[in-house]
Structure 1
């Protein structure tokens, strides 16, 4: 896909996130993803665990230039990044989102937010020590183009922290394939395949990775069994810990999961 074609898709993406217009199929999927799955992550403490992991990966930011990529009005760590880094730059396609974030950042002299396309020549900032991409990298269909741009924007020892959905588990792949023809945002939703993951692995040094909702994605089946609520939570947490730990070193276990977070460094 050419830069021009990608920028055209991004204009559609901008309109989608500013208007929030979703068809019925997308609303149902959003309910499943943002409702049921998010509630499961919260009940298992996964959300906090991921944010704590990202904070530890970020380390001391006092001498770091940070790019908060595709952050809309700010993700859970945006304000932390802005307050603690030497220089913080946030970008997103949405003017609505960036205007909200800019209002939150108005008292921070070293923080700026722009409405700009990451792939556009209009975005001239570079030499970033860290690119924080929470739920962002899977919005780019042309992964080679994305990787080239990421490498260009990082400094010599720059790092990327990402968090994205996987489409490597057979049950999830089947569900997504059934849903995709009706999906409002299908032009910019590209969950990681095995091929995509290995492209990142070949282009960057993977320092650490963790995945979630592998074995634990079957939590709902526990409701069919005559267990107490405490027992169900206990089993779900055991499954989550297994996913969290094994995904560090086992590709097969990582690819059985639904979401993946990676700490990678420019080679």
Structure 2
């Protein structure tokens, strides 16, 4: 496992990767297309995408007295402006100075909000702490050593502070096989570490997991339903039913949770 210093060195390369996007090889571009155009569309079709965003707002609660960190926000995610406009203090943080410049332009009329280009692990570059909420959408799996990340999250959170996260799993057999085959060709493999069971349990054992939901368990096979000669309405009905089963059952069943491709969690500092 890499040390914090080694991860910071890796993050310099990650910054260049996201700033210029010229380092993406063909396999990485293909996977990115499948992730953004296919998997994201499936989540949209079955209602999982908006359901996650709506639940994250519920988990935030009243933001008017909250100090919020939008971790790994790039130029702004789906909820960045919502958090910036409603929180007592908002900081968007990302490695990419190019993306942060764009976000700061969007935040220019909100005096309580700002965006910073810095490394979350660097005390020198990012000394801010005592956050009531750390929002990490698609971010926590970018740290190869979860122990280093968990220690830093604990350090940055205020007493009883919460983390709202959304990350990919590689715990189901078909997804694990695909990722093993793809990884040797992946140009961003140094900072792409989808959650294993071990990673999940490290978070579970350190923080209080108040609520969790798995996404794309049984519903990951929705693409096969699209091949059937039935109406679009019937296809979506089946997909939404499968998704809701994943969503509900993964709250209490580790087996169902680990069959899913993604997990979203509300975790509280103990």
The two structures have a TM-score, normalised by structure 1, of 0.98
Alignment length, in residue pairs?
A: 267
2:116 counterpart residue number = 114
Query: Of 75, 85, 88, which aligns to 2:87?
Result: 85
C-alpha separation between the residues in 2 aligned to 1:36 and 1:109? 38
C-alpha separation between the residues in 1 aligned to 2:85 and 2:262? 28
**2:154 is aligned with 1:155:** no
1:262 counterpart residue number = 265
Moved more, 130-139 or 33-42: 33-42
Query: Of 63, 66, 69, which aligns to 1:64?
Result: 66
Deviation at 1:89, TM superposition (A): 0.9
Query: Of 196, 200, 206, which aligns to 1:193?
Result: 196
Q: Secondary structure at the match of 1:191?
A: coil
2:97 counterpart residue number = 95
RMSD (Å), alpha carbons: 0.9
- TM-superposition CA deviations, 1:4-35 (whole Å, max 9, x none): 21111001100111111211111111111111
Deviation at 1:193, TM superposition (A): 0.3
C-alpha separation between the residues in 2 aligned to 1:250 and 1:219? 21
Query: Of 225, 228, 236, which aligns to 2:228?
Result: 225
Moved more, 133-142 or 21-30: 21-30
1:10 counterpart residue number = 11
The two structures have a TM-score, normalised by structure 2, of 0.97
C-alpha separation between the residues in 1 aligned to 2:123 and 2:225? 51
**2:41 is aligned with 1:39:** yes
Deviation at 1:227, TM superposition (A): 2.4
Q: Secondary structure at the match of 1:121?
A: coil
- TM-superposition CA deviations, 1:41-78 (whole Å, max 9, x none): 11122211111000000000111100010100010000
- Where does the alignment leave 5 or more consecutive residues of structure 1 unmatched? none
Q: Secondary structure at the match of 1:34?
A: helix
C-alpha separation between the residues in 1 aligned to 2:260 and 2:137? 17
Deviation at 1:226, TM superposition (A): 3.2
Q: Secondary structure at the match of 1:133?
A: strand
